[in-house]
Homo-oligomer: A and B are copies of this chain.
Amino acid sequence: MISANDQFPPTQKPSESVSGVTVRLAGDSGDGMQLLGTQLTNTSALSGNDVATFPDFPAEIRAPRGTTAGVSGFQVQFSAQEIFTPGDGLDALVCMNPAALVTNLADLKSTGILIVNSDSFEAKDLKLAKLATNPLEDGTIDKFRTIKVPMTSLTRGAVEPTGLSVKLADRCKNFFAMGLVFWLYGRDVDPTLRFIDNKFSSKPEIAEANRLALKAGWHYGETTEDFVSTYQVPAAELEPGTYKNIMGNQALAWGLIAAAKLSGKELFLGSYPITPASDILHELSKHKHFGVRTFQAEDEIAAVCSAVGAAFGGSMSVTTSSGPGIALKGEGMGLGLILELPMIIIDVQRGGPSTGLPTKTEQSDLMMTMYGRNGESPLPVIAARSPSDCFNVAIEAWHVATRYMTPVIILSDGYIANGAEPWRIPNVSDLPEIKVNHPTEPNDGERFLPYQRDENLARPWALPGTPNLMHRVGGLEKQDGTGNVSYDPHNHQHMVQTRARKVEKVAEFIDEAKIEGSMEGTLVLSWGGTYGACHTAVESCIAEGMDVGHVHLRWINPFPRNLGQIIEQFDRVVVPELNTGQLSALIRQRFLVDARGINKIQGKPFHVNEIVDGIRAFAECAVSK
């Protein structure tokens, strides 16, 4: 192993201290941008920065090389302050080819640095990107500080000692770029060197080439006169604790594993692969030593039904999918609902309708999760607000599911699922215990009443295998108490109302909503993955002197019990959403308040300034009334 100190000497150039930096790495799908971004993120996190990321890649496995459709991007913000988004405008943009340049340049701040691989702006590259002229020469980049680096040739030169073929040598370009970026921001190379050792342990010549490329990039920064200084981002003042960088889907998987442990259950996942939910399946399948059983079903219907079956048997049952798959699960979820069995249904939302935009983010499944089942079918719905929040959401959802004996829906989205941020690792002993009871004796003299309810309106979770508690459940309306099939009109009304009341009662258990910022004026009401952008926007409005408060909802069904009161307290309500106004609609119908939306349906997360502008416009126009 190379000793970093020898080979990656600290810079001799002046170093500017900045409070935070937003960098986007953009290249072809095959250029390894996701890997580069992940390394930069992890290293920054390890150095104590707060970090937030936004990977963005095409729906194809490998879209045609060099085309704009094939561009893969990874954005990371690392900061000495607590941050909540991967940043809006870019301080630095690294472009590996012309297609990456033209599709990303618009986001570069006027003060930003543009770093391009100048070797890849040949005529053939321009043609692939469908460009008539060379953007490096036609004025496109004139207003930016541009640093043209012949990365391909420099990399080839650097790795020559390994004797790798040109094709393989060219694959090391991303490590060259990494070296340069690491140098520019004074990042520690050790973790990346460890990563290289691990990842390429069976291919030592590739490992060596990547190390060489990394070093060449680093030295290039130090040597070239294009860079006059480096930047230092000091450690952020995060809450004390041990941290780990975590992605949303991973946090969700770990939260599920934790919830299972905390309730003394074994986890069963019935799932069918679909972007962007598949990684939960992948992650859970690695943890079989936790008693985690993963079942890759033949389709989403089998997935949800297998989960209902496992729930009947006493497991902690989960099913995961994204929009199109959740649409298929409606009937099965309805059965879980009427059987009143605890389980978790996870929808990692993506752009819709139909197949839509599979790799893009959106919040447009909220209404479907609320209403996408026949008959009166209320279910609790909770939405995660950030990658690390996924962990808590999983635990809370399972707590509610078992306490009230009901399926619970968790909403995540592509942005959270693939985004990363530091997660303060909890003390296991601080995590809540989730008490689950299974009756062993009849509850009505000699009889067992499977639908006798407790104070939470929950029925007993009696497990097959328990003597004397034999009972049958099914999708036909059932008599309260006995659970027998019942066509009695009044019993039906009673049961419909009871199932609804049960969901309402969840409000007694969950936290009240908390206001951040101002206690009056304009209320910004948000949910799900837009938390970071909304939080930052509200902070910025307050800094501007506006009266803006922020409530972020985790539970959407039921709403927190004090939400109505909070809404009354404000003059107006604005709801930023990545859809056409779904939470708005729910707020309007429940509280009869003229909630207005800030809506973006572009498959992308909010920019903070889009929300700030929206709040400002709304507050001003309301004032001028």
Binding site for B on A (CB under 8 A): 58-59, 69, 301, 322-324, 326-328, 330-331, 334-335, 337-338, 351-358, 360, 362, 364-365, 367-368, 370-377, 474-477, 487, 489-490, 492-493, 496-497, 499-500, 579-580, 585-586, 588-590, 592-594, 600-604
Complex partner residue of A489 from B376, B487, B603, CB under 8 angstroms: B603
Most buried by B among A370, A590, A602: A602
Considering the complex, give the chain B residue whose CB is closest to the CB of A584. B589
A351-B477, A354-B475, A376-B580 in contact; A601/B371 too (CB < 8 A)? no
B580 touches A496 (CB 8 A): yes
Q: Chain B contacts of A354 at CB under 8 A?
A: 331, 334-335, 337-338, 374-375, 377, 475-476
**Distance from A607 Cβ to chain B, minimum over Cβ atoms (Å):** 12
A59-B476, A351-B477 in contact; A372/B376 too (CB < 8 A)? no
Considering the complex, give the chain B residue whose CB is closest to the CB of A365. B374
B490 touches A602 (CB 8 A): yes
**Distance from A494 Cβ to chain B, minimum over Cβ atoms (Å):** 9
Q: Chain B contacts of A496 at CB under 8 A?
A: 580, 601
Q: 9 tightest A-B contacts by CB?
A: A352-B375, A323-B374, A355-B475, A489-B602, A353-B375, A354-B475, A589-B589, A367-B371, A327-B330
Rounded to whole angstroms, the CA-CA distance of A326 and B377 in the bound complex is: 14
Q: Chain B contacts of A327 at CB under 8 A?
A: 330-331, 334, 372-374
A58-B487, A374-B368, A475-B354 in contact; A328/B331 too (CB < 8 A)? yes
Q: Chain B contacts of A590 at CB under 8 A?
A: 588
**Distance from A229 Cβ to chain B, minimum over Cβ atoms (Å):** 35
Complex partner residue of A352 from B59, B351, B377, B592, CB under 8 angstroms: B377
A331 touches B324 (CB 8 A): yes
Q: Chain B contacts of A59 at CB under 8 A?
A: 476, 487
10 CB < 8 A contacts A-B: A334-B353, A351-B492, A353-B374, A354-B377, A357-B477, A362-B375, A365-B375, A493-B600, A588-B590, A592-B593
Q: Chain B contacts of A355 at CB under 8 A?
A: 335, 338, 474-476
A324 touches B328 (CB 8 A): no
A476 touches B353 (CB 8 A): no
Considering the complex, give the chain B residue whose CB is closest to the CB of A63. B487
Rounded to whole angstroms, the CA-CA distance of A358 and B474 in the bound complex is: 13
Most buried by B among A487, A593, A600, A604: A487
**Distance from A623 Cβ to chain B, minimum over Cβ atoms (Å):** 20
Q: Chain B contacts of A337 at CB under 8 A?
A: 353-354
Q: Chain B contacts of A322 at CB under 8 A?
A: 374
Q: Chain B contacts of A301 at CB under 8 A?
A: 328
Rounded to whole angstroms, the CA-CA distance of A368 and B352 in the bound complex is: 17
**Distance from A311 Cβ to chain B, minimum over Cβ atoms (Å):** 15
Rounded to whole angstroms, the CA-CA distance of A386 and B360 in the bound complex is: 44
Q: Chain B contacts of A370 at CB under 8 A?
A: 367, 371
Rounded to whole angstroms, the CA-CA distance of A444 and B469 in the bound complex is: 71
Q: Chain B contacts of A474 at CB under 8 A?
A: 355
Q: Chain B contacts of A326 at CB under 8 A?
A: 374
Q: Chain B contacts of A601 at CB under 8 A?
A: 376, 492-493, 496-497
Complex partner residue of A364 from B375, B592, B593, CB under 8 angstroms: B375
A352 touches B364 (CB 8 A): no
Rounded to whole angstroms, the CA-CA distance of A365 and B603 in the bound complex is: 30
9 further contact pairs, Cβ within 8 A, besides A489-B604, A492-B602, A589-B589? A324-B374, A334-B354, A352-B377, A365-B374, A367-B370, A367-B371, A368-B371, A370-B371, A592-B592
A331-B328, A474-B355 in contact; A487/B375 too (CB < 8 A)? no
B376 touches A373 (CB 8 A): no
**Distance from A513 Cβ to chain B, minimum over Cβ atoms (Å):** 20
Q: Chain B contacts of A338 at CB under 8 A?
A: 353-356
Q: Chain B contacts of A492 at CB under 8 A?
A: 351, 357, 360, 601-603
**Distance from A165 Cβ to chain B, minimum over Cβ atoms (Å):** 33
**Distance from A430 Cβ to chain B, minimum over Cβ atoms (Å):** 37
B372 touches A352 (CB 8 A): no
Considering the complex, give the chain B residue whose CB is closest to the CB of A474. B355
Considering the complex, give the chain B residue whose CB is closest to the CB of A377. B353
Q: Chain B contacts of A489 at CB under 8 A?
A: 602-604
Rounded to whole angstroms, the CA-CA distance of A334 and B592 in the bound complex is: 30
Most buried by B among A59, A323, A324, A373: A373
Complex partner residue of A368 from B373, B594, B602, B604, CB under 8 angstroms: B373
Rounded to whole angstroms, the CA-CA distance of A377 and B366 in the bound complex is: 12
**Distance from A372 Cβ to chain B, minimum over Cβ atoms (Å):** 4
**Distance from A324 Cβ to chain B, minimum over Cβ atoms (Å):** 5
**Distance from A72 Cβ to chain B, minimum over Cβ atoms (Å):** 12
Q: Chain B contacts of A476 at CB under 8 A?
A: 59, 354-358
**Distance from A305 Cβ to chain B, minimum over Cβ atoms (Å):** 12
Q: Chain B contacts of A356 at CB under 8 A?
A: 338, 374-375, 475-477
Q: Chain B contacts of A330 at CB under 8 A?
A: 327-328, 330, 368, 372
**Distance from A351 Cβ to chain B, minimum over Cβ atoms (Å):** 7
Complex partner residue of A585 from B324, B589, B602, CB under 8 angstroms: B589
Q: Chain B contacts of A377 at CB under 8 A?
A: 352-354
Rounded to whole angstroms, the CA-CA distance of A376 and B323 in the bound complex is: 11
A360 touches B487 (CB 8 A): yes
Rounded to whole angstroms, the CA-CA distance of A370 and B326 in the bound complex is: 16
Q: Chain B contacts of A357 at CB under 8 A?
A: 476-477, 487, 492
Considering the complex, give the chain B residue whose CB is closest to the CB of A330. B327
B364 touches A372 (CB 8 A): no
Considering the complex, give the chain B residue whose CB is closest to the CB of A499. B353
